[in-house]
Structure 1
């Protein structure tokens, strides 16, 4: 365990309140009954900022506080920085680089990883961000090894979290590293959350659907979707479509961006997720109805694709009915 030290949150104009609340709740609320001393939290900005929700904040500290911090936290960025043409303050990027050179630990929440990447601090490292922005991260920062499946990445002195609530998972992970499992468990209990959620953000990503029906494959896709519980091969799909397997593969890729077998597998996983969420069918029956086979086979494919077991997924997402 280590002395918690000073945590400085970089407050950015247009940032969402959610990540601000996560940091204030985990590091800013003193819990001296759990650990003494607790973290010292400071908010820093170049001047008054307005959050995405319209709240005006006047942080007490300037960006130079980042250089003095033991831990620097970068929150989710406004959409116009991530998806638009807006640029981050050069002073913020300089402060992040100076803090890293001085030896500070850097954390990013959600799309805050784009700020670390813009500062060049993620080059050659593994990192993550919100699953809806991982492709954009790869395209904009090709030197970053992006992992879209995890809730957070601990790469030593730089830690990045996935979308939204995964920031809380990362902050609890940091408390666990600094102050031990028992303290992190107690903080999680007070926040009424799990200390460590199983799996990654893959379990929250929806299965891909066809991009276009330009080649008229909709009837075939509907036919296959109604028969996921049966053995289906590329040859069978081609016969149903009245095409050769090679022509089907080409048209399939044009319409869906993937191969027939990969599309089938994705649809079967999607069906299994739907059944786990909305029915009380036994796991082995879910495997049969989705076409993924036995309970063991379903478990294998589910862990590989989603990151959790079918039982854990049902526990998290099962529809509660009166």
Structure 2
């Protein structure tokens, strides 16, 4: 897997480091045939990030690889981007010192997408992606303070103010809010391209017990800051561990509430406060992720996978899996095995 990361301006160091951490973590990726290659692309041999940091890059004119995925980090000067009201081509001046360089990056993004490359944008990197026209008619999101500005500057983009992550499988476009959501985006991309087992291992390494997904809404009750540890939050976390260990059990909202010794209404409220999503959403996501791992790591038939993950039967597995990932379980297994057997390129 090859990832290209264009750096058309001064970018957030956090976003860039998030990409490196998730896709190039020695503790998880060491010796793995799925370990991605990351290429940083700019208009020079190095590029400045915020906080006085810089990173070595390959000049776009010298870059001849075809990546599988392009990830655009957020800009470190989002206020300037968000308040600019000039013409689209003039926005090139916001992204690089030389407008011609920005136009070259824009053309490269459009051409790469036309050739089938998937593109993801983080935080205020959305303004660069929207500038290409690739977000026209596509659901997208960005960091909370800049949602209105994105919608105003690019009215053809379908800005989703209640979404933290979006994925349009048909258009091969991912978008995310900023901050820690960038890590969630990278985990989702790792699962999509390298398999759920690697993504789960990396999430566990970073203590991301429940990475947020495209199903997570800003209005789901997720706190803006982490809640203070409490006996109730400890009980919810302990319950999630128990459920993960016994996914084959017929867990329902009622049985979860009974196990937690509370009413269904009270349990649903407390669970959403601690985990950021309703219990039904969390449970289905856990079951589908476990099914992904079994599809990747075993040759179990669909009925057995459905029973082990609590999805009851092969038809239910197929229905929920296809709705969540846009592909049937059997096709997912075939595609994953085909990727695993593909010869590794020399780099």
TM-score under structure 1 length normalisation: 0.61
- Shift in CA distance, 183/278, structure 1 to aligned 2, threshold 3 Å: closer
Q: What is the aligned partner in structure 1 of residue 309 from structure 2? A: none
Question: Which residue, 106, 113, 124 being the options, matches 1:111?
Answer: 124
**1:120 & 1:27 partners in 2: Cα distance?**
28
**2:64 & 2:163 partners in 1: Cα distance?**
27
- Shift in CA distance, 21/142, structure 1 to aligned 2, threshold 3 Å: same
- Shift in CA distance, 28/126, structure 1 to aligned 2, threshold 3 Å: same
Maintained 8 Å contact 1:277/1:314: no
1:1-322 alignment runs, 5 A limit:
5-30=1-26, 31-33=28-30, 35-47=32-44, 48-62=46-60, 65=63, 68-77=66-75, 78-79=77-78, 80-84=80-84, 86-88=93-95, 89-156=102-169, 157-197=172-212, 199-202=216-219, 203=221, 309-315=268-274
Q: What is the aligned partner in structure 2 of residue 250 from structure 1? A: none
In the TM superposition, what is the alpha-carbon distance from 1:82 to its structure 2 partner? 3.0
Maintained 8 Å contact 1:35/1:179: no
- Shift in CA distance, 13/87, structure 1 to aligned 2, threshold 3 Å: closer
Maintained 8 Å contact 1:131/1:201: no
Maintained 8 Å contact 1:81/1:87: yes
**1:84 & 1:194 partners in 2: Cα distance?**
39
Q: What is the aligned partner in structure 2 of residue 216 from structure 1? A: none
In the TM superposition, what is the alpha-carbon distance from 1:49 to its structure 2 partner? 2.4
- Shift in CA distance, 67/97, structure 1 to aligned 2, threshold 3 Å: farther
Structure 2 unaligned regions, length at least 5: 86-92, 96-101, 233-262, 277-347
Q: What is the aligned partner in structure 1 of residue 324 from structure 2? A: none
In the TM superposition, what is the alpha-carbon distance from 1:13 to its structure 2 partner? 2.6
Maintained 8 Å contact 2:23/2:36: yes
Q: Deviations over 1:79-115 (max 9, x none)?
A: 2223346533212211111111121110101111111
Answer with 1 or 2: which has the greater Rg. Answer: 1
In the TM superposition, what is the alpha-carbon distance from 1:60 to its structure 2 partner? 3.3
- Shift in CA distance, 194/24, structure 1 to aligned 2, threshold 3 Å: same
Return 83-92 or 71-80, whichever deviates more: 83-92
**2:120 & 2:136 partners in 1: Cα distance?**
15
Maintained 8 Å contact 2:34/2:194: no
Q: CA RMSD in A?
A: 3.2
- Shift in CA distance, 63/144, structure 1 to aligned 2, threshold 3 Å: farther
Structure 1 unaligned regions, length at least 5: 207-272, 282-294, 300-308, 318-322
Aligned residue for 2:8, secondary structure, equals coil
**1:84 & 1:205 partners in 2: Cα distance?**
31
**2:19 & 2:133 partners in 1: Cα distance?**
24
- Shift in CA distance, 130/34, structure 1 to aligned 2, threshold 3 Å: farther
**1:316 & 1:110 partners in 2: Cα distance?**
22
